[in-house]
Each structure stands twice: as structure tokens, then as C-alpha cells.
A and B are shown apart, each in its own frame.
Chain A
Amino acid sequence: MLALIGRRLFVAVPLVVVASFLCFALVASSGDPLEALRLNPRTPPAVIAKRSSELHLDQPIVVRYSSWLRDALHGDLGTDNNGSSVSAQLSRALPVTLRLVLVAEIVAVLIGVALGVVSATKQYSWFDLGTTAFSFVAFALPVFWLAAVFKDLGIRINRAVGHRLFFTVQQQSPGLQGSTWHRFADTLGHLVLPALTLIVVNIATYSRFQRASMLDVQTADYVRTARGKGLSEARVTVRHAMRNALIPVTTLVALDFGQLLGGAVLTERVFQWKGMGTLLVTAVTKRDVNLMQAWLVVIAVTVVVFNLVADVMYGVLDPRTRRG
């Protein structure tokens, strides 16, 4: 097991480093980092000069990258154009987004897998066709539009009922006091609609996938053997078929993570969560080089970490890969 993790890390770390250089190059080439400062008439030339030397703009890109890397490894991700610490902003925003993404992912997997399993066992039934139709529509939905639709529905329902059933603004109520339980409930309440958006969009993938792999597995020899032994259908499905059919979904979950993050960015913007989504939009519209770079690298690291976790889980689920 440890060897497996070790081997994966061996690949992952250079991947992250190269990714960070790629990001750096892209961000550096995406325009003049001082543009925002230059166009503001009130910025004194001294400030521009200072920022220019902070960003080492007079030096070749490799030198700039290595000094950035050196600082980053010490935890210093630089300051944005306003002088605020980038790492402080990221460390505030990342947990907010991860919260949403993880909850959505877990629920989507649970429900998606269940749907897939049932669809496979009752192939071509109304249930199956229903979920297939749902999946096709869910694939085609634009995430941001769905988020706004849910928000609209939430508001309309709130109005109709005359009472706030759904939270539609931000990730928590401001100035909230009270017990831990109260705050926790508040956070959960704010999670409902955004998570629902991501769940709907992702259930489709997992259920289709699970259904397909269940169907593959259904015809395998060992399943027929189990049936031949006289085991109940339910036991065959769950104990034998599902365990193996779960394997591809695990990898899919991890591989899909990057795309899920993209969906979270859009959902956050609609519900005005102060997470990575809003931070990205701010960084890009303000052409803030340090913020963009740090954002991209942090996200890349997160994705790689999750891929790693998936690999390990894959190893746990499928003993054959442990030796591989």
C-alpha cells in the first residue's frame, strides 16, 4: 500500500511542479501585470516601480518563476495589487468551495450509484428509461442556468410559503451567534440549493457509468456462478456484482473532480458564495497576476491530491492493482 502511494507521489509531485510552471507562463503571457495599476491615474509612479520589482518583471521568466516557487514553498504566495495577502484570501476561500464540492460529490455518488444499480437490474423498465431520460437532460444543462433556476424556485417557494425555507444568498448568515449546532444548521441550510445544482448535474454521469459497468459485470462468469449457487438476487447484486462494478466509478469520481470544481465556480457566482469562484472572477477581471497564479496552482494541487486519493481507493477496492 505504502509503495503504491509512494509511486503515485513520485509522479504527482513533478506533475504539480510542471503544472505550476505552465500556469505561470500562461498567466505571464496573458497580459501586462501592471495594467490595472498603470491605467489608474492616481497611482504614483513609485508604486508602479515598486510593484514591478516585486514581480521581478525585468527578469527572464524562468528566474521569475523560480523566485515565485521559492517563496511559495515557504508559504508566501505574494500580495495582490491592493497589497492584501494572496494566501490569506485563498485560505479563506478554499474551505468554502471544498465544502460545497465534497458534499455535492458524495451525495451525487451515493444517489448516482444507487440509481445506476437499480437501472441495471431493471433494464429497460420504466425506471430505467426514466433515469436515462433524466440523465440526458442533466448532461445538457448549463450549470449556471440550473443554479439560477434553483435560486428562482427557492425564492418563489419562500414567497409562496411566506417563510424562509431556502437560503439563497451566500454561504452563511452574517453576524450569526449561537451554539455550534445552530451555526452548523445554518451552514447546512445554505448548502442545500448550491449542492443540489451540482448534484443534479453529476448524478447523471455516475448513474450512467454505474449502470454500464453493472451491465458488464452482470454477464460475468462469477456472477453466473453465484446465481447458480442459489444466492438471492439481492445478494448477488450487492455482494458480488456491485463491489466490482464500483471500481470504475471511483476513478471517474476523481477524474471528474476538475470538472466538478468548474461547476462549483459557476454555482458560487450565482449564489454569491465567497469562495474560489468569486476569487477567480475577481482575479481575472482585475488582471491580478499573483492571485491568478496562486489560484491556478492551488486548484491544480487540489485536483492532483484528489486523483491520488482515488488511486489509493482504487487500490483498496481492487486488490489486483495493489501489486501493479
Chain B
Amino acid sequence: MASSWREPDREFTIAARSQWSAVGRRFVRHRLAIASLVVLGLIAVTAFVGPRLWRFDYATPSNDLSQAPSWKHPFGTDEKGIDFLAQVLRGAQKSLQITLLVAGFATLIGVVVGATAGYFRGRLDAILMRSADLVLTIPLIAIAAVMAYRFSRSLGGWFGVVVALALFTWPGTARIVRAEFLSLREKEFVEAAQASGAGPLRIIVVHLLPNVVGSLAVAATLTMAGGVLAETSLSFLGLGVRFPDTSLGLIISNGEQAAQTRPWLFYIPGVVILVIVLCINFVGDGLRDAFDPKQQRVRA
């Protein structure tokens, strides 16, 4: 915490910097968000690095058939004797990989669309927002299912799923960016920039976008959470990631029939998805609070 003799310095610093540190401080105070960030980080590290360190491989059968969780196999084994922890790690890795890419692409598309609509308004705005509505009319699962198959074949397995999902999850981000732009656009500094001869692209990128970062971050976490759920759902239906790739959704669909006889194969991957999405949501919540200038104690 800043002590009083630092305050005079702060008065002379640029507004943006103190805003960021204020954001950071508020985020840190949101304990749940910090805890979730830590957990998420741990999961990510384990998923990406873990397989190299763990003694069992995700595809090597053994003679420990269908064993319940034990010290040797913390998540148990399947009917081929393959260690389940290794499989879950690999599934988590794939699912995280996919969702990060989906969030990245969707945010990119959403920013471009939302910024254009919000800055230029008028006809362009109407067309872009109508098309966003159009995309939202059809349930994500359905449209992604139809396209995922096609993209999987031409782009190679799981990446096809990424493209299919990204193409239909951008409207949320676009709407948020547009809303922000619509209000920011009226501010004086935009007028000033225009007066000084800056082109639209420069204004958007240099002046407007940085102010939107907060909402973008929140929107990105929402997309990520939605992405995990969408991808695992698709893979569960058999329409997303397929053998030899893997995904938590696929693992659950394999284990669905085992729910009464070998429950670890079914419940563990589900809990993993739950924890991942929960953490992403908490982080998003924390970000929203951190960036919210009104700073109300009421959390919506």
C-alpha cells in the first residue's frame, strides 16, 4: 500500500499509468480472482509441461487394467491399462490450446467488426450488427457442428474446430467493443485527434482501443469460458476433435458408459472442465471489477 509521502509524486504522473496500477491493485484485492488465476496457471502448466515429466504416457497400454485411483495411478487406468492422469492432462492441454486460439481469433474478429461499426456508424454499423444478429440466431453448437467437420478435413483435425468456433463466437466481443466505441467516440480527445489530421485507423488503434482493453479482457474471458464448453460439447457429440487427437469432451464421451462401473473415467474429466471454466469466470469477474471505474461494491 502506498504511504502518504508518495502521494505528491503521483500527482505528476500521466493519468494512464496510475489507472493501470489502480486496476492492478483492485484486481489483487479481489482474492477469488487471484486464487483462480493461480489455479488456472497451475492447470495450464501441468497440462502443457506435465506430460513430459509424468512417468506414464497417454498412449502406452500396461497390465493395470481398469484400476481405481491409487498412489501409482492417481486418476486410475482404463481398460487398456493406460494411465488416466496422462490422458486427462493431454485432453486438458488440447482443450486449453483450442480455447486460447478460439478466444484469440474471435477477439480479433470481434474487435475489427466492433471497432468499424462503432467508429463509422451509419450504414456500415447497421450491416455489421445485423450480421452479428444473424450469427446469433443459430445456436452455436449447431452451426459449429456443421462447419467443424468440413474444416477438420481441410485444416487438419483440431484446428478445424478452432476455426469453426471462432467464426461464430465473435458477435459478443463485437457488441461490447462497438458499445464502448460509440460512447468514446464522442469524447474530446477524438475530436482533437481528428482535427490534427489523424486518419481513422490511427485514431482507432492508438487512441480508442487502449481504452477498451478492460472490456476486451473481460469479453475475452467470456469467450474463453464459452469456448471450452463449446469445444468439449462438440467433441462429446463426436463432431469436434476426434481420435487420434483428444479433448476432455472426447474423454468424457468415452467414459459416459462407465459412470456406474468405473466412475473415475467419467467424473474426473468433468470436474476438470468445471474447475477450468470456473477459474476463467472468476478471473473475468475480477477483471470486470478491476476495470470498472464506478467501483461499486455491488457485483452484478
Please list the residues of chain A having a beta carbon within 8 angstroms of any beta carbon in chain B: 15, 18-19, 22-23, 26-27, 29-31, 123, 136-137, 139-145, 148-149, 151-152, 155-156, 208, 212, 215, 258-259, 261-262, 265-266, 269-270, 280-281, 284-285, 287, 292, 295-296, 299-300, 303-304
Contacts and interface: CB of A to CB of B under 8 A. Distances in A.
B239 interface: yes
A259 B139 CA distance: 6
Given A144-B236, A144-B252, A30 B146 contact: yes
Contact of B141 (A22, A27, A155, A262): A262
Given A143-B229, A296-B146, 14 more contacts: A15-B137, A31-B153, A136-B278, A142-B252, A142-B270, A149-B259, A149-B270, A151-B259, A152-B259, A258-B137, A262-B139, A269-B236, A284-B149, A296-B142
Contact of B139 (A136, A151, A152, A261): A261
B134 interface: yes
B145 interface: yes
B278 A137 contact: yes
A284 B130 CA distance: 27
Given A27-B146, A31-B150, A285-B239, A208 B300 contact: yes
Contacts of A144: 232-233, 236-237, 249, 252
B281 A136 contact: yes
A152 B260 contact: yes
A303 B137 contact: yes
A280 B142 contact: yes
Nearest to A280: B142
B144 to A, nearest CB: 9
B273 interface: yes
Contact of A296 (B133, B138, B225, B266): B138
Interface string B268-294: 001001110110011000000000000
A281 B236 CA distance: 11
Closest 8 CB pairs of A and B: A140-B277, A262-B139, A145-B270, A140-B278, A262-B141, A212-B300, A152-B259, A30-B150
Majority secondary structure of chain B interface residues (helix, strand, loop or mixed): helix
B138 A299 contact: yes
Contacts of B142: 261-262, 265, 280, 295-296, 299
B257 to A, nearest CB: 10
Interface in B233-250: 233, 236-239, 249
B2 interface: no
A27 B142 CA distance: 11
B149 A30 contact: yes
B276 to A, nearest CB: 8
Given A152-B259, A215-B298, A266-B141, A142 B232 contact: yes
A26 B143 contact: yes
Contacts of A304: 137
Interface in B137-174: 137-143, 145-147, 149-150, 153
Interface of B: 130, 133-134, 136-143, 145-147, 149-150, 153, 225, 229, 232-233, 236-239, 249, 252, 256, 259-260, 263, 266-267, 270, 273-275, 277-278, 281-282, 298, 300
A71 B149 CA distance: 27
A155 B260 contact: yes
B87 to A, nearest CB: 16
Nearest to B140: A262
Contact of A300 (B137, B153, B259): B137
Contacts of A18: 134
Given A139-B277, A142-B229, A148-B259, A300 B236 contact: no
B15 to A, nearest CB: 29
A140 B143 contact: no
A115 to B, nearest CB: 15
B260 A156 contact: yes
A19 B139 CA distance: 12
B256 A296 contact: no
A253 B138 CA distance: 16
A141 B133 CA distance: 26
Given A26-B146, A27-B146, A284-B145, A142 B273 contact: yes
